[in-house]
């Protein structure tokens, strides 16, 4: 078997589990007698030929680390054809015909364009804490983000109970409420506000009206940052105007959800997708994303990948209605 080079890169925002995927890709490629090149700083690294060789030792002891060994970026230059042509020439000069890209929706669209415009064989792996990518049940980083949010909210609940407060806790989710819904159910939140429905504010009002006795109690409302209410602070203002007697507080969890050591679920998902990406690439797959659906590894054409919206009729929304009583 001839030696052929496989490049690996991470693009877009960081999430926990990226290093586990890089490790799996590098060691699987070596197992199949391939050399491996790491592309630094995502698409900008392709344009600048910021490459470095990777071996088994390069990825030792990184499976538990957050962030990305290769760093990342959101490249504006790669949107322009002249810079993409530079990137393709750099790959040609280094005899690289295979790329595995770990990224979110925007990065995967870039990978699809790359595969269509050049003879580079591209395979994508989904990563985003928002979990809003079609073609997979879960994206790398989501499980860790939810667990970090859950632990933080549990701690805030202690303070809320000690002082009989209503807390609005904002979690990430620009256009998707997956973190808010999953974490909210897990912590027993009394309210969950997500961008996929405009009925949740009405439900929150009903829940507050129902809970008239605030003695020895607490009230937690989880807010997805992309909700149409405008976030936790604007929601706090709305509630204060309607219920001026309530003592409220706001916590923005922010980027804490994207860092830290990945959970077991994210490590195993990243490892499975990393191994499968190399194997599918070597089997001739091109312009596809590797995902996991019903615990099976599946390939979806990159041009069919889209932002997935949370089903507002989801069973978990029904759980919220029942358990908030």
| 241: its two tokens | 């105007």
Separation of alpha carbons 138 and 145, rounded Å = 12
CA angle in degrees (0–180, nearest 5) for 145-264-22: 85
Q: Which of 44, 105, 130, 200 is catalytic?
A: 130
Separation of alpha carbons 139 and 265, rounded Å = 11
130 is catalytic: yes
| 130: its two tokens | 């928002």
Tell me if 87 sits within 8 A of 111, measured CB to CB.
no
| 272: its two tokens | 């499975």
DSSP letter string, 219-243: EEEEEETT-TT-SHHHHHHHHHHH-
Residues 6+ apart with CB under 8 A from 78: 43, 44, 46, 47, 84, 87, 110
The residue behind tokens 């506000």 is: 193
Catalytic residues: 130
């Amino acid at each position: 078997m001839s030696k052929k080079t496989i490049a690996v890169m991470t693009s877009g925002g960081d999430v926990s589990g990226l290093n586990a995927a890089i490790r799996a890709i590098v060691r699987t490629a070596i197992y199949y007698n391939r050399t491996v090149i790491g592309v630094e700083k995502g698409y900008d690294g392709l344009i600048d030929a910021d490459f470095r060789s990777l071996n088994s030792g390069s990825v030792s002891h990184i499976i538990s680390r957050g962030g990305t060994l290769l760093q990342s970026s959101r490249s504006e230059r790669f949107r322009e054809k002249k810079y993409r042509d530079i990137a393709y020439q750099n790959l040609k000069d280094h005899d690289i015909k295979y790329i595995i890209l770990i990224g979110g929706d925007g990065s995967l669209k870039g990978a699809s364009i790359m595969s269509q415009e050049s003879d580079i064989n591209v395979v994508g792996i989904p990563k985003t804490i928002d979990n809003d990518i079609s073609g997979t049940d879960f994206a790398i980083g989501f499980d860790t983000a939810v667990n970090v949010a859950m632990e933080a909210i549990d701690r805030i609940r202690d303070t809320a109970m000690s002082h009989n407060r209503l807390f609005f806790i904002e979690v990430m989710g620009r256009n998707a409420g997956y973190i808010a819904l999953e974490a909210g159910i897990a912590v027993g939140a009394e309210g969950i506000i997500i961008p996929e429905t405009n009925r949740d504010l009405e439900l929150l009002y009903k829940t507050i009206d129902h809970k008239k006795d605030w003695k020895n109690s607490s009230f937690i409302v989880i807010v997805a940052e992309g909700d149409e209410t405008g976030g936790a602070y604007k929601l706090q203002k709305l509630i204060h105007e309607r219920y001026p007697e309530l003592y409220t507080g706001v916590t923005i969890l922010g980027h804490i959800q994207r860092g830290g050591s990945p959970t077991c679920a994210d490590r195993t998902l990243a490892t499975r997708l990393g191994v499968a990406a190399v194997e599918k690439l070597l089997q001739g797959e091109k312009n596809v994303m590797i995902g996991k659906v019903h615990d099976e590894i599946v390939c979806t054409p990159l041009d069919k990948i889209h932002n997935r919206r949370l089903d507002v009729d989801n069973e978990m929304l029904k759980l919220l209605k029942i358990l908030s009583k």
